[in-house]
């Protein structure tokens, strides 16, 4: 199978790029009537050439300064460049600009064709060759051969082919198992077939009948089906990286398709108006770059107006680099490492370019040291470190497989391997959320930050309410909404409970190290309350009866009761009725002994059994129902079955004597602590 490589031309207008390609391939890349009439290339054109084991797709670009935007669209995805300089004209402005653009786009391989050599003498050839060498010094073409050619006489064409073949052998063919994407550079209608779009394929492969996603340039993404495929006019069953592709899309109106849109594997790319980048100021524009500079942003075949925001500098001088973000007027799709070019607001000058670090970014505060340090890690040569950084930026939202492939520049195979390694070394934590089919993958550092914020809030509320033995869990969750949705926050709290950093249940929580802080007077009041309940086991005083004794602590009376409950001294029956712990255990013992006789018991019998009044007997019976010790049937109550007991919290069938020693880490819940165990 031939290997596919894409060649792009570059050079000043009227230097013979299109004529040279026609002489090499027999294909005229000027397809528009206006191009034929004016004798100049206006838009990008396409040709192909077989060279040994290589199938060379050729993109011919216009050389006029007014059509640089078309040149940039054509230069996307090229593997090697052919810089064309006319011997009778030498180096011209667009020669310099095209070379600068190729360098900014990260092209690494190329050669130089000196055309129209039949029009000059040997001395002129030598002078032009020296001027070309001066031009390319310090660029990727510094050591490239300069081939003297003439499309008229055929001179140098075979030598040019030999050099092109040698260059193709040097091109590193990127992994074919990457997901598919294709920036659209042209769209037209074929009678009887419908809309056809074309482009150079920078990654992956697609087959006839498969579905792709189509970004329409305004943030909308729609599923489309591949009806048929062509490669340089030949019908094929699939197209892949390094090829020119024509894709016939089923059911897509032609008028909705335009240059700058993109097709890709479903789920791969995400439109974004904010990108984080490494930017370099072009040497062609000596004023360099400045913060808040309006620009024309070119990436792939897209051209969008935007604003450049420098993150670690105020200005970038010619030839220097900086970290930056670009805020675009319209969303585009891109991937990690994708090259881009910046032109001025009037599209007259090339200001600079660089590489995308975050295809989908959020605004970063200038000179934010921690975030900028993380952003720099995305420039690492280690896929493992880039993937970890992608997860860090994803925060508590977590990152999915597509995020790592798109934002870390890894293949699907590398992503799977990297995820396994990151989870193994503890960098990524897997969170199982009930509403998600797949676990949420969160960076351990961001998870720790979130848990520390939860603990800080709990401790702060403990300081605010020092007498509360526990805090309302829902109120805690409500104040943590900035971390994520309720389900996520509840999961984080559950992790802290499992780690015994927090204690509590589904309703109330507390810090494990927290102990209610009672003043000396409050402790005395608590002791009097407990003693009063112990002295009157089944007709205890109501909380309001202690208000006169509480004095200045009246406002804290409820909290003092909660401390006594948490310490295991009292048991809450309801908000107005508490029993001493020993009394609650004795009540269970008596009721259980009576019910084991096999007959039901009435409220009146409970009243008499405990030596109390109906005022107390009714709430005590309801309490035993809630606990699962009894089961009500009409006016009678029976001993609950073991299954019923387990379903209501596992209350044992035999009375459990509560510990009389204080338990400062115990946490009370209005629902669960109604049933002592």
Q: Residue 138, CB half-sphere, CA atoms under 13 Å: how many? A: 5
- State the pairing for strand pair 54-60/45-51: antiparallel
Cβ count within 10 A of residue 452:
10
Catalytic residue list contains 116 = no
CA separation for the pair 565, 105 (Å, rounded): 71
Residue in 170, 202, 169 with CA at minimum distance from that of residue 185: 202
- The DSSP output letter for 10 is E
- Concatenated DSSP letters for 295-362? EEEEETTEEEEEEEEESS-SEE-TT-EEEEEEEEEEEE---TT-EEEEE-TTS-SEEEEEEEEESS--
- Known catalytic membership, residue 30: no
Is the CB of residue 162 less than 8 Å from the CB of residue 145?
A: no
Q: How many angstroms separate the CA atoms of 262 and 648, rounded?
A: 58
Cα angle, residue 132 at apex, residues 126 and 135 outer, rounded to 5°: 150
Q: Which one from 12, 17, 215, 462 is the annotated catalytic residue?
A: 17
Contact status, residue 618 vs residue 604, Cβ threshold 8 Å:
no
List the strands of the sheet with 502-504, edge to edge: 471-472, 508-511, 502-504
Helix (H, G, I), strand (E, B) or coil at 274: strand
Burial class (CB in 10 A: 0-12, 13-18, 19+), 652: middle
Give strand ranges (E) for 32-185.
45-51, 54-60, 80-86, 109-115, 146-148, 181-183
Non-local (6+) Cβ contacts of 624 within 8 A are 588, 591, 630, 637
DSSP 8-state class, residue 660: S
CB atoms within 10 A of CB 88: 15
Place of tokens 């890709």: 264
Task: Write the burial class of residue 497 (CB in 10 Å: 0-12 exposed, 13-18 middle, 19+ buried).
Answer: middle
**Pick from 480, 470, 451, 483: which is nearest to 511 by CA?**
470
What angle in degrees, to the nearest 10, is found between the helix axes of 93-104 and 122-136?
Answer: 40
Catalytic residue among 4, 14, 43, 185: 14
Residue length, the chain?
677
What is the rounded CA–CA span in Å between residue 168 and residue 159? 14
Residues 6+ apart with CB under 8 A from 162: none
Active-site annotation holder among 4, 15, 18, 215:
18
| Catalytic position from the list 25, 64, 161, 491 | 64
Can 124 be counted among the known catalytic residues? no
Nearest to 308 by CA among 335, 333, 340, 337: 340
Q: Is 64 a catalytic residue?
A: yes
Region of residue 29 (left: phi > 0; alpha: psi -120 to 50; beta: else): alpha
Q: Counting beta carbons within 10 angstroms of the beta carbon of residue 155, is it exposed (0 to 12), middle (13 to 18) or buried (19 or more)?
A: middle
CA dihedral 611, 617, 622, 623 (to 10 degrees): -50
Catalytic residue annotation: 14, 17-18, 64
């Amino acid at each position: 199978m031939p290997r596919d490589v894409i060649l792009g031309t570059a050079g000043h207008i009227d230097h013979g790029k299109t004529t040279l390609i026609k002489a090499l391939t027999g294909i005229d890349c000027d397809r528009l009537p206006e191009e034929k009439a004016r004798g100049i290339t206006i838009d990008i054109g396409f040709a192909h050439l077989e060279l040994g084991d290589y199938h060379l797709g050729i993109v011919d670009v216009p050389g006029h300064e007014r059509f640089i935007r078309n040149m940039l669209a054509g230069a996307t995805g090229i593997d090697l460049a052919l810089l064309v300089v006319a011997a009778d004209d030498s180096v011209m402005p667009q020669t310099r600009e095209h070379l600068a653009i190729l360098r900014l786009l990260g092209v690494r391989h190329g050669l130089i064709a000196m055309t129209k050599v039949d029009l000059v003498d040997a001395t002129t050839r030598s002078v032009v060759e020296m001027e070309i060498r001066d031009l390319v010094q310090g660029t990727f073409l510094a050591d490239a051969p300069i081939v003297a050619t003439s499309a008229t006489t055929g001179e140098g064409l075979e030598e040019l082919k030999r050099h092109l073949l040698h260059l193709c052998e040097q091109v590193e063919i990127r992994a074919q198992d990457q997901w598919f994407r294709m920036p659209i550079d042209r769209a037209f209608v074929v009678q009887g077939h419908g809309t056809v779009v074309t482009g150079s394929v920078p990654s992956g492969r697609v087959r006839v009948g498969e579905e792709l996603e189509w970004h329409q340039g305004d943030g909308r993404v729609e599923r489309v089906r591949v009806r048929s495929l062509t490669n340089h006019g030949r019908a094929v069953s699939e197209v892949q990286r390094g090829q020119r592709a024509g894709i016939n899309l089923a059911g897509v109106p032609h008028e909705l398709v335009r240059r700058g849109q993109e097709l890709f594997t479903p789920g791969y790319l995400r439109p974004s108006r904010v990108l984080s980048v490494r930017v370099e100021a072009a040497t062609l524009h000596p004023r360099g770059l400045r913060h808040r500079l309006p620009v024309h942003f070119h990436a792939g075949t897209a051209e969008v107006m935007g604003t450049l925001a420098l993150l670690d500098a105020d200005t970038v001088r010619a030839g220097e680099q900086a970290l930056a973000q670009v805020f675009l007027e319209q969303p585009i799709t891109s991937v990690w490492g994708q090259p881009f070019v910046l032109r001025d607001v009037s599209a007259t000058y090339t200001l600079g370019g660089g590489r995308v670090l975050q295809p989908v970014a959020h605004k970063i505060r200038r000179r934010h040291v921690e975030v900028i340090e993380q952003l720099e890690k995305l420039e690492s040569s280690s896929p493992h470190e880039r993937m970890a950084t992608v997860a860090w930026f994803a925060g508590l939202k977590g990152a999915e497989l597509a995020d790592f492939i798109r934002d870390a520049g890894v293949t699907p195979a590398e992503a799977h391997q990297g995820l396994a390694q990151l989870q193994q070394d503890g960098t990524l934590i897997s969170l199982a959320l009930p509403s998600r089919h797949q676990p949420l993958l969160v960076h351990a550092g961001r998870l720790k930050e979130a848990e520390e914020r939860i603990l800080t809030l709990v401790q702060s509320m403990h300081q605010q309410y020092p007498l509360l033995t526990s805090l309302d869990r829902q109120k805690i969750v409500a104040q943590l909404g900035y971390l994520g949705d309720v389900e996520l926050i509840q999961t984080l709290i559950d992790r802290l409970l499992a780690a015994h950093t927090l204690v509590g249940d589904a309703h109330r929580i507390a810090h494990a190290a927290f102990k209610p802080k009672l003043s000396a007077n409050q402790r005395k009041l608590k002791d009097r309350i407990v003693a009063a309940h112990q002295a009157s086991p089944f007709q205890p005083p109501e909380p309001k009866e202690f208000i006169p004794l509480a004095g200045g602590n009246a406002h804290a009376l409820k909290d003092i009761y909660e401390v006594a409950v948490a310490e295991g001294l009292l048991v809450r029956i309801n908000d107005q009725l508490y029993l001493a712990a020993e009394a609650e255990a004795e009540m269970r013992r008596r009721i259980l002994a009576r019910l084991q006789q096999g007959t039901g018991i009435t409220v009146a019998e409970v009243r008499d059994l405990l030596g109390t009044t109906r005022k107390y007997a009714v709430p005590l019976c309801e309490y035993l129902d809630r606990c699962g010790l009894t089961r009500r049937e009409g006016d009678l109550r029976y001993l609950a079955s073991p299954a019923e007991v387990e379903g209501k919290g596992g209350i044992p069938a035999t009375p459990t004597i509560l510990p009389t020693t204080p338990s400062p880490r115990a946490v009370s819940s209005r629902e669960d602590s109604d049933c002592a165990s």
